[in-house]
Amino acid sequence: MSIIVYADGGCSPNPGPGGWGVFIRTPEFEHELCGGEDDTTNNRMELTAAARGLEHFPPGTRIEMRCDSRYVIDAMTRWLPGWKRKGWRTTTGPMANRDLIEQLDALTADRIVTWTWVRGHAGDPGNERADYLAECGRLGARQGRAQATPTTTPNTVPVAPSLSMTFDTTLSLRIITAAAAAGLAPQAFVEGHLHRNLQPVDRQQALRGSEIEGTDLDLDFGSLILAPCLSDCE
């Protein structure tokens, strides 16, 4: 399977602010998506992550969807036919999360999807990255940066409000160009490189508030701030 999508979601407390994360791996590129809602549940975020991952690709695409949620895997591979036969009702009333499950059903109808369960927090790099992105989405929702509608797929990754980075003009332009080529916002691009290339102890020290001083591009991981001069480069 050439396209592998890791999807994860979570909520803390449950219900409460929640986030979803998607890590996409193909032979040509890796891509990350995340988002959140300020009042949701674990299961809704797990389902949303899977939906956002699938809708990233056009109809006809062959995808392996990897989730650590048994609820999502069983819903799409075991329970869905029975829910349809029973009119989307359970013994206690209308079925929860019908809207998202119907959305997933429609997305899988014109894509070739293989559903694979992976054990969470077991060292799978793709699953760990999706979990991390889901936490980014949850933090964004808690701080009021969630998208207005869950169908929007943001490509910004809010990470550490205490970390601010400022770069000179030359490096700013290089970051913006490389981020655009990767399909990422500048702060997501920089954060991804830090995450992959710094040792854990170094990354923790960085996230505690170190600054790289410069002039033109200010990356505040709580919210992206681009200096005015960068508008001339768009």
* Alpha carbons 144 and 153: distance in angstroms, whole number: 16
Average of per-residue pLDDT across 14-37: 93
pLDDT tens for residues 75-85? Answer: 999 999 999 99
90 strand-pairing partners? 93
Residue 131 annotated as catalytic: yes
Distance CA 43, CA 58 (A): 25
Query: Is 214 among the catalytic positions?
Result: no
Please state, in angstroms and rounded to a whole number, the distance separating the CA atoms of residues 35 and 122. 23
CATH class of 4-142: alpha beta
* Closest C-alpha among 172, 185, 182, 178 to residue 232: 172
Distance between CA atoms of 64 and 24, rounded to whole angstroms?
A: 10
Q: Which of 32, 131, 135, 216 is catalytic?
A: 131
* Structural domain boundaries in the chain: 4-142, 164-233
pLDDT tens sequence across 126-182:
999 999 999 999 988 887 755 433 333 333 333 333 344 555 556 766 776 676 666
Does 121 participate in catalysis according to the annotation? yes
Dist CA 88 CA 11 (whole Å): 25
Is 232 assigned a catalytic role?
Answer: no
**Residue 102 designated active-site:** no
Neighbour tally for 132: CB within 10 Å: 18
Structure confidence at residue 67 as a pLDDT band (50, 70, 90): very high
